[in-house]
Amino acid sequence: MIASPVVILGARSDIGRALARGYAAKGAHVILAARGDIEADRRDLEVRSGGQPKAVAFDVTDGAPDAFFAGLGETPGTVVMVAGLLGDQDRSASDDAEAARVMATNYEGPARYLLAAARAMNGVEGGCIIGISSVAGERGRGSNYIYGSAKAGLTAFLSGLRNAQAKAGLHVMTVKPGFVATQMTAGMKLPPPLTAQPDEVAKAIIDAHEKRRDVIYVKARWRPVMAIIRAIPEGVFKKLSL
C-alpha cells in the first residue's frame, strides 16, 4: 500500500522526476519539493498523470525541517529523500567549505528532514520514509571517502530510524542505487553492468515500497560486489586504488 501524499524531496533530480512519474502512475497524490523553479515539473507531471500534483520550495540545507512539513498543509503519507551531492573528492579534501557542503547535503540535512518527517507522520496508517543512500557508504575508499562517509552516516541513521519507528508502524526503507546514469554522473565512465537508469531506480523503489522492504540494492549484482569489497583485509585494501 502506498500512503498519499507522496513528498519527493529533491524532485528536480533525474531520479526525483522518475519517482514522481512512477508514483503518479500508481494513483498517488505527489508533492514535488526542490530548489529553484519547480513549476515546470509540476505542470509536466499534471499533464502526464491527469492528477493535481503540488510544488513547494525545499532546500535540504536550510535548517528548518519542522517548518517545512508544517507548511505543507497536509500530513505526508510517504516521504522520499532524493537530495544528494556527489561533489569533487579532491576539492572537498582541500576546501573545508566544500567538504561541509557535501556532508550537509548527503547526511546532516537528509537526517534532520527525515527526523522531522517521522515527527510529522506520527500515527499515519501505512506511512513510509524512504532514504536514498549509496553503496559508497559501505566502506571508505580513497577516491570518494568524504561523500562515502556522509552516505555511511545516512545508512546508519536510516537503520536506527527503522528500528525506532517499527513499533509505531512507520516503515523506513534504505535504497542503495549504485551507479546511476544522471546529470550528476554525466561525463563519468560508468560500468554498464552496474549502472541503472533513473526509471529503473524509480521502479525498484516503488516495487520495494509496496512490498515493505527494508534495504534494497537497485541492481542485485551490487550485493556480492559489496560483500567482496567489505571482506578485503584493511592491510590489502589500503594498497588498492579504489
DSSP conformational letter for 105:
I
Q: Which three three-digit cell numbers place residue 40?
A: 515546470
Strand 30-34 and strand 54-57: the pairing is parallel
Q: Is the backbone peptide bond immediately before 192 cis, with ω within 30 degrees of 0?
A: no
Compute the distance between CA of residue 133 and CA of residue 1 in angstroms, rounded to an integer. Answer: 23
Q: Which three three-digit cell numbers place residue 211?
A: 512490498
Q: Residues 171, 125: contact at Cβ < 8 Å? A: no
Q: Is 145 a catalytic residue?
A: no
Q: Residues 155, 139: contact at Cβ < 8 Å? A: no
Active-site residue among 23, 107, 113, 147? 147
List, by residue number, the catalytic residues: 147
